[in-house]
Structure 1
Amino acid sequence: MTTLQDLQGRTFPYLRLSVTDLCNFRCQYCLPDGCKDTSHRTAINLDEIRRIATAFASLGTNKIRISGGEPTLRTDFVDILKTIRDVPGIKTVAVTTNGYKMDQRVESWIDAGMTHLNVSIDSLEPAMFERITGHNRLDEILRGIDIAFAKGLPRVKVNSVLLKGMNDKELDRYLDWIKDKPITVRMIELMETGDADTFFQNHHLSGQIIQKQLLERGWIKSLRLENAGPAHEFCHPDYQGRIGLIMPYSKDFCADCNRLRVNSQGELQLCLFAEHGHSLRHLLQSDDQQELLNQRICELLNLKEDKHFLDQGMTGSTRNLSIIGG
């Protein structure tokens, strides 16, 4: 079996697959005015999703994360889960969601084949959560996590974007929450995007500050698994939960990149902040195109840069993170 490898020798067992650019939250750092111009109606269909998953699995990918926008807004979301679950070679079917109505839906996601869940919770204080996201839905999201555990999901990851002057004093609140819960809270440095440069300047906070606080409290850096995401995780013997830090502005952040992205229009995005994607859609129209599809993916991988250029203020074509799900 061919293994996806770029010119730097990095391999890619992990695909982030966006199935829509539509989102119903109004997060301050992403879509403060709501979702306006989208390509939701022309998103890849179920057969195209199956062909993408099959191609990447045949090239060594074993983990697919379904993202958006907000992927659960698709009416066929459960079918998407089942379709990817049934692709030979795919061992991990992960979902990233804002948690909308999760307390009503998460059981059906698990039944359909979801093995890993990431939920965005940018604050555990209800008023601040509403201020950041534009929604008063924290309680239903927390209920959804409890239901997921009751259903048998062994661990949940929670994403929290670090925002100076907003949620930057909540470390203790998160630590108290995960004391007796198998939750990994991943604190993510705010990344500059084309639509949010001023917000970035006002609210960016380095994850190094949180890392220093964790180390001072006896937290220890964990080993990183092969198909893990970009977070550096920290554990503590007195806590069931973990803290992860995603720091894209840190030195050598891209050195161990292991993930590729396909957006909801069937474009391979070699980096979250690439100038443009590369369309695969013309090779997704029938099953007998798989050999050509595989060949094209391998060819395009030779174009992958060794790093992003965020530190130079170059955000590529990513106007906001809902376009490709982060």
Structure 2
Amino acid sequence: MLEDNLGRRFYYLRLSVTDVCNFRCNYCLPEGYTAADDSPHLTSAETATVIRAFASLGTQKVRLTGGEPSLRADLPEIIAAAKGTAGIRRVAVTSNGYKLPRVIDGWRRAGLDQLNISIDSLQPDEFARITGHDCLPKVLEGIDRALELGVTTKVNAVLLCDGAGRRLRDFLRWLRDTPVTLRFIELMRTGDNREFFASNHLRGETIEGQLVRDGWQLLPRERDAGPAREYSHPDFRGRIGLITPYSEDFCSSCNRLRISAQGRLHLCLFAEQGMDLLEEIRRGDTEVLAERIRALVTQKAPSHYLQQERVGATRNLAMLGG
């Protein structure tokens, strides 16, 4: 089992297949995508090598992220390779949903188990202001189709101060009859969003306290689950999760590692740098790659140090899929 010096075990790989994104979210890429690294992205064969190496170390869940992963035409091939890897129990994709109605059937046939879609508002005009794209109905159509296909579906919403109460009410109305898990994610400081963060950050505990008062119950956390604390309520088909990276003990239960689209191991979303594994990946020797990963994991820091405003090399969340 892959384990660091603090006894944290890593069952969960977040594998970025591209850092390109076609959205211009105001908290991430307000000016749109600009290439900061001209290194080629891993090929589908190279991503398969990475997944096999992690699976040999006990990883059970793979999440394919971006940027926007649907921009890769070979994403179904990558999903199928992950699903066909011995030891991998769950394959997930995180997407902005822009192409979802056209691609979800193919992803499901390839073996997709779980889908995460970003929706920061259920008001079409506000959604367009946040993302730069007026396409909320199309995204919701794709979610409906994913549910029809039996894909476990979660929706990510970044917590923003202005209008937070209204957006929560909209989401609660939607969750009464929609069997998705809505995950509120605290806005995080990155290299590019200092001023936006200062004026928009909202602590997740504010909403969590309201949910508890309204009868929402905390659910047990699976060992390969993400960092959200999930709640259910008997009157709602949907669930709500909270991801609060500024809470004191957030890093103590970390169970995930990240590989960038360029083949770098990031021990934390906010690490000072990625560790280049491209040579080992291109050799295709999963044993050698696994041993290198095992050795590097011992360098994982106890915390992301966000509370001290240390954001490492993370310029924006599109770099590694958040």
Q: TM-score, normalised by structure 1?
A: 0.97
CA contact (8 A) 2:70 2:99 kept: no
- Which residue of structure 2 lines up, in the alignment, with residue 130 of structure 1? 128
Q: Which structure 1 residue ranges, 4+ long, deviate > 2 Å from structure 2?
A: 38-41, 166-169
Q: 1:260 aligns with which of 236, 257, 261?
A: 257
Q: 2: CA distance between counterparts of 1:39 and 1:77?
A: 21
CA contact (8 A) 1:21 1:38 kept: no
CA contact (8 A) 1:20 1:40 kept: no
Q: 1:226 aligns with which of 217, 223, 226?
A: 223
- Which residue of structure 2 lines up, in the alignment, with residue 5 of structure 1? 3
Q: 1: CA distance between counterparts of 2:318 and 2:49?
A: 23
Q: 2: CA distance between counterparts of 1:172 and 1:214?
A: 12
- Which residue of structure 2 lines up, in the alignment, with residue 68 of structure 1? 66
1:269 aligns with 2:266: yes
What are the equivalent positions in structure 2 for 1:208-219 lying under 5 Å apart? 208-219=205-216
CA contact (8 A) 1:183 1:241 kept: yes
How far is the alpha carbon of 1:298 from its aligned partner?
A: 0.5
- Which residue of structure 1 lines up, in the alignment, with residue 282 of structure 2? 285
How far is the alpha carbon of 1:159 from its aligned partner?
A: 0.1
- Which residue of structure 2 lines up, in the alignment, with residue 91 of structure 1? 89
- Which residue of structure 2 lines up, in the alignment, with residue 294 of structure 1? 290
Q: 2:169 aligns with which of 169, 172, 181?
A: 172
Q: 1:304 aligns with which of 295, 300, 303?
A: 300
Show structure 1 runs of 5+ residues with no match. Answer: none
- Which residue of structure 2 lines up, in the alignment, with residue 28 of structure 1? 26
Residue 166 of structure 2 aligns to a residue whose secondary structure is: coil
Residue 292 of structure 1 aligns to a residue whose secondary structure is: helix
- Which residue of structure 1 lines up, in the alignment, with residue 199 of structure 2? 202
What are the equivalent positions in structure 2 for 1:110-189 lying under 5 Å apart? 110-153=108-151, 155-189=152-186
Q: 1:319 aligns with which of 299, 311, 315?
A: 315
How far is the alpha carbon of 1:152 from its aligned partner?
A: 2.2
CA distances 1:186-221 after superposition (whole Å, capped 9, x unpaired):
000000000001000010000011011101111111
CA contact (8 A) 1:124 1:174 kept: yes
Percent identity between matched residues is: 49
CA distances 1:109-143 after superposition (whole Å, capped 9, x unpaired):
11111100000000001111001000001000100
Show structure 2 runs of 5+ residues with no match. Answer: none
How far is the alpha carbon of 1:102 from its aligned partner?
A: 0.7
Letter in 2 for 1:280: L
Q: Report the CA distance shift for 1:195/1:29 in structure 2 as closer, same or farther (over 3 A).
A: same
Q: TM-score, normalised by structure 2?
A: 0.98
**RMSD of Structure 2 on Structure 1 (CA):** 1.1
How far is the alpha carbon of 1:169 from its aligned partner?
A: 2.5
Residue 185 of structure 1 aligns to a residue whose secondary structure is: strand
